[in-house]
Amino acid sequence: MSLSAALMVIDDAISAATALHHGGRHHDAESLLREAIAHHPASHALHNACGVMQASQGRYRDAVASYRAALRTGSGEAAIWTNLGNALTHLRLLDSAVACHDAALARAPDEGGLHYNRGISLAEAGRHGEAVAAFSRALALAPHHGMAQWDRGRSYLHLGNLVSGWIDYDVRLRNGLVPKRAVPGRRWEGGAYAGQRLVLLAEQGFGDMLWVSRYLPLVRALGGELIVECPPELAGLYQSQGLSDRVVIQGEALPAADWHAWQCSLPGLFTRDLDSIAQPVAFVPDPARVAALRPVIEAAGPLLRVGIVWSGSVTFARNAERARPLEPFLDAFDQPGVQLFSLQKGPPEAELAQHRRGQRVIDLAPGLRGFHDTAAAMSLLDLVIMTDSAVAHLAGCMGKPVWVLLGANAHWLWLQDRGDTAWYPSMRLVRPRGPLGWTQVFDSASAELMRLSLRHAGLL
């Protein structure tokens, strides 16, 4: 360091460490703070700053230790308590996290951000009714807290309160979750547009777009010319189904239009409650692609043909919470009477070649160039078992039996405590029911697959 932390006042040490941290020099920043702490061990601000930097790097256990050190100095600052609660939330110590936020609010009850942090911990714990109340209090104190409205909307949706959920869900278009860009025409609110052009804009992930594809026939019936923007991975599938007058690949220039709508706003225009959910589009695979894959899949003979997917997109921030390694899939589903087929794409594909039992799975990935190929492959399978990702939505759209393996904090679409979903009649949700978590999920699905394969073989 050019200036010893021992000679710095505490605020200067924190400012210098922050500058180093923002410059990517994380080790130097923490070293400076550690040196300053050695000379000022009773400074809660230094311990807290160290925790904030550790948390920003995903080092939540280290952050917890730093925040607790700050509290041991005798400081009871609300900010330290809520920082500790946030770190504990990432470690899934959720009851403790809520207790920390309660301690923070006892010291600063009118701070909207503290109520928001408490709401996040409650939502992560599946306590969505309480989370709604916390987010609502945050918004009462800080009306322009866009993330509080977004997260309240998701908790409403978890609870099946679609009307309130869609209202809050719309804030994504204002708070930066959906990046701002130039779009043609006025915002469409669900009216007839005969003689005019409507562009439906792509947003969020593949699964989200497949989920809302059910609304494309309803939108098209109200117009007019319908143009749908979609990522290249979905383009072949969308073009083959005739769901719009034209498909524009995401990233290409959009045509002039009278109206635009974001695709994930469509549910709010057409679905007011769980009883009015539109049926999914029945995607019909390309016969030529089916014929190309048929010899590979039908080589399984009379065995039950089961597709597996163990990970979604690795670029999705929370994929690690939903994905599982390949090994528990093999432990649970590589059974007599069953032939496994891998539909996995992306970097996790490599697990199949690296696993000692990987050769027991027929890898379809080399022939899957997009979702249109995946649809063709699934049409030849009896069942798909997978973690929560876009392929589950595709299977649901096709009416293919699909078992989705869920962790403790599942997506809001799957509501709470249900083994089925109104969004996809052919889908079964397998949830953790006890303290064993994922182990219980795989055990439950394994037992059911065993019974299914025996019935398939006429042995049960």
Q: What's the CATH code of the domain at 43? A: 1.25.40.10
Among residues 276, 305, 320, the one where a domain terminates is: 276
Asked if residue 33 lies in contact with residue 46, where contact means CB atoms within 8 angstroms, the answer is: yes
Residues 263 and 143 grouped into a single domain: no
pLDDT at 4: 54
pLDDT, one tens digit per residue, over 49-99 is 999 999 999 999 999 999 999 999 988 899 999 999 999 999 999 999 999
Among residues 212, 245, 276, the one where a domain terminates is: 276
What is the Cα–Cα distance from 406 to 424, expressed in whole angstroms? 15
Instruction: Report residue 427's pLDDT band, with 50, 70 and 90 as the boundaries.
Output: very high
Residue 88 falls inside a structural domain: yes
Instruction: Report residue 421's pLDDT band, with 50, 70 and 90 as the boundaries.
Output: very high
pLDDT, one tens digit per residue, over 224-279 is 999 999 999 999 999 989 899 999 999 999 999 999 999 999 999 999 999 999 99
What is the Cα–Cα distance from 413 to 434, expressed in whole angstroms? 21
Rounded alpha-carbon distances, angstroms, from residue 287 to 210, 240, 293, 380, 398: 21, 11, 10, 11, 14
Asked if residue 71 lies in contact with residue 55, where contact means CB atoms within 8 angstroms, the answer is: no
Among residues 139, 173, 207, the one where a domain terminates is: 173
Instruction: Report residue 39's pLDDT band, with 50, 70 and 90 as the boundaries.
Output: confident
What is the Cα–Cα distance from 434 to 244, expressed in whole angstroms? 45
pLDDT at 8: 65
Owner of token pair 């959720």: 94
Domain count, the chain: 3
57 secondary structure, DSSP code: T
Residue 330 pLDDT > 50, yes or no?
Answer: yes
pLDDT, one tens digit per residue, over 167-176 is 999 999 999 9
Residue 7 pLDDT > 70, yes or no?
Answer: no
Residues 167 and 31 grouped into a single domain: yes
Instruction: Report residue 2's pLDDT band, with 50, 70 and 90 as the boundaries.
Output: very low
Residue 1 pLDDT > 50, yes or no?
Answer: no
For residues 26-39, give the mean pLDDT.
89
What is the Cα–Cα distance from 16 to 33, expressed in whole angstroms? 9
Residue 179 falls inside a structural domain: no
Q: What is the pTM of this model?
A: 0.92
Q: In the numeric block, which tokens belong to residue 10?
A: 């505490």
Residue 5 pLDDT > 70, yes or no?
Answer: no
Residues 243 and 392 grouped into a single domain: no
Residue 259: which domain range? 186-276
Residue 53 falls inside a structural domain: yes
Residue count of the chain:
460
pLDDT, one tens digit per residue, over 282-321 is 999 999 999 999 999 999 999 999 999 999 989 888 898 8
Residue 178 falls inside a structural domain: no
Nearest CA-CA partner of 35 in 74, 8, 63, 67: 8
